[in-house]
Amino acid sequence: MSLESGATAEAGTPEARTGDGEGVAAGSLSDLDTTGLAYGAVGSAVFLAIWQAAAMAVGRTYLLPSPVEVATAFVVELTAPTTFTVPFVEISIPATRLVANLLQSLLHYLPGLVVGSVLGISLGVAMGWSGRLDDALTPVTRFLRPIPPLAWIVFAIVWIGIGHGGAAFIVGIGAFWINFYNAYAGVEGVSTHLREVAETLGVDDDLTMIRKVILPAATPSIATGVRTSIGQCWMIVVAAELFGAPGVGFQIINAAQNLATDVSVAYMAVISLVFLVSDGAFRRVERRALAWRD
């Protein structure tokens, strides 16, 4: 009898805790709704007011476009019709200027991000798992990593040419290193204890160990790498487009060269918005998929 009551008493705690977890989430949301959002609104308004005042004081749009001018430029870019040519199939589809430029950027951002991440994670896991491979390649990775992705633009130009391919190459290098180190650290950090537990439960080959223990245990670290590279790769996109690849970053420079800095800032805002949306979406997925984390 005492066992039973003990078990129930004990069992009550985690249930309460689970409930609390949801409560906390809901609580912080409502806190954000009231005070947090209010402060945020005030802060944003003050920022915009100072910006607007400064722009009016300067009096020249090309030196400092005002928020109103930027918003106007944004709407113009968002609505001005143009066409976007889908590569490979060469079909033109109607789009607006902003959308067309964003699609151009995505054409090298996404392949670079995906390929670079997959390769980086693969090598990171392999080196984290195999001490031999780690010993063999560590001097190489240590030496190559400090080189900024953009420095490889020389090879992007002579090998591929500065278009989507070249820009994707640069983006891919950036994504590669971020994901490589996170995956490597994640795999290295898997406790020996969990591996031994798996061995005592019948896991007796490397592939099963990697699939059922190492990768799940390293997933939080790998996910952090992917999320970091989602953001970092936008910076690389803009830098790569400075060299002439079409897209949002190119528009920032192009517009500025025509002294249309309001358009430049509008495209800067586009990058920020795209980052916020993609980072937010990834965080949501991450929170769900990794609900087991402490």
Q: Which residues bind another protein (CB under 8 A)?
A: 2-3, 6-7, 10-11, 13-14, 17-18, 193-194, 196-204, 208, 212-213, 216-217, 219, 290-294
Q: Return the number of the residue (20 or 135) whose C-beta is nearest another protein.
A: 20
DSSP string computed for 150-190: GGGHHHIIIII-TTHHHHHHHHHHHHHHHHHHHHHHHHHTS
Nearest by Cα to 98 from 264, 256, 280 = 264
How many residues are present in the chain? 294
161 in Cβ contact with 129 (< 8 Å) = no
Q: Return the number of the residue (145 or 293) whose C-beta is nearest another protein.
A: 293
Least CB distance to another protein at residue 129 (A): 18
Q: Return the number of the residue (11 or 276) whose C-beta is nearest another protein.
A: 11
Q: Angle at CA 224, nearest 5°, toward 232 and 120?
A: 70
Q: Return the number of the residue (3 or 89) whose C-beta is nearest another protein.
A: 3
Q: How far is CA 134 from CA 129, 130, 131, 198, 274, in A?
A: 8, 6, 5, 23, 36
Q: Return the number of the residue (16 or 133) whose C-beta is nearest another protein.
A: 16
Q: Position 178: which residue type?
A: I
Least CB distance to another protein at residue 64 (A): 51
Least CB distance to another protein at residue 91 (A): 44
Least CB distance to another protein at residue 29 (A): 21
Q: How far is CA 169 from CA 159, 191, 240, 260, in A?
A: 10, 35, 9, 30
Least CB distance to another protein at residue 20 (A): 11
Separation of alpha carbons 53 and 194, rounded Å:
60
Q: Return the number of the residue (283 or 293) whose C-beta is nearest another protein.
A: 293
Q: Return the number of the residue (8 or 257) whose C-beta is nearest another protein.
A: 8
Separation of alpha carbons 286 and 219, rounded Å:
10
Least CB distance to another protein at residue 205 (A): 10
Least CB distance to another protein at residue 216 (A): 4
Q: How many CB atoms lie within 10 A of CB 153?
A: 20
Beta bridge partners of 77: none
Least CB distance to another protein at residue 290 (A): 8
Q: Return the number of the residue (45 or 197) whose C-beta is nearest another protein.
A: 197
Separation of alpha carbons 144 and 138, rounded Å:
10
Separation of alpha carbons 32 and 27, rounded Å:
9
Separation of alpha carbons 198 and 264, rounded Å:
55
